[in-house]
Amino acid sequence: MAMSGGKDDGEPMGEMNTTPLIDVMLVLLIMFIITIPVATHAVNIDLPAPNPNAVKPLIDPIKNKVTLTPDNKILWNGTPIDQGVLASNLKGSLGMKPEPELQFEPDAQAGYDLTAHVLNIIKSSEVTKFGFVGNERYGTFGKAANAK
């Protein structure tokens, strides 16, 4: 490809071989394209600052945690509530689409009576995304892992 046709009489060719020149130009073009910064289109918008005194919603749209403490308190996402508020929060979470996950974590020292009442409230609310968390602390696997 780099050779151009000429005469067979042994005289030097009068035409310039442009193949190496084209190769160098292509390499330089590719390097130039790579080194150009990507053009970005930005629109600057002044967003309002968040209000530090804003009240957080009581029901999280993704996951809510009901915890029972050793002194027989019910905590909803860390906030103490009573059984009536628990029932209304569960009804409110059922109205959300998609329904948020409900996690139940009773403490080992929490009263059995309170645990049974809370489970009955959860069952009667017909929550579908429900699970127990923290049980691994009480199983034999958790004790064997902690013993090491």
Quick check: is 133 in a domain?
A: yes
* Number of domains the chain is built from: 1
Alpha helices in the chain (DSSP H): 19-35, 83-94, 112-124, 140-147
53 is a domain residue: no
Q: Are 115 and 132 in contact (CB under 8 A)?
A: no
Strands 101-106 and 79-81: unpaired
Tell which phi-psi region holds residue 69, choosing left (phi > 0), alpha (psi between -120 and 50) or beta. beta
> Residue 6 domain-assigned?
no
**Structural domain boundaries enclosing 98:** 63-147
The per-residue pLDDT string of the chain (148 residues; one tens digit each, 9 = 90 and over) reads 455 555 677 777 778 888 999 999 999 999 888 888 776 677 788 878 877 776 655 777 788 899 999 999 999 988 899 988 899 889 988 888 888 899 999 988 889 999 999 999 999 998 888 888 887 777 765 455 555 5
In a domain, residue 131? The reply is yes
Domain assignment present for residue 86? The answer is yes
pTM as predicted: 0.55
Residue 99's domain is classified under what CATH number? 3.30.420
Q: CB-hemisphere CA count at 13 Å for 148?
A: 5
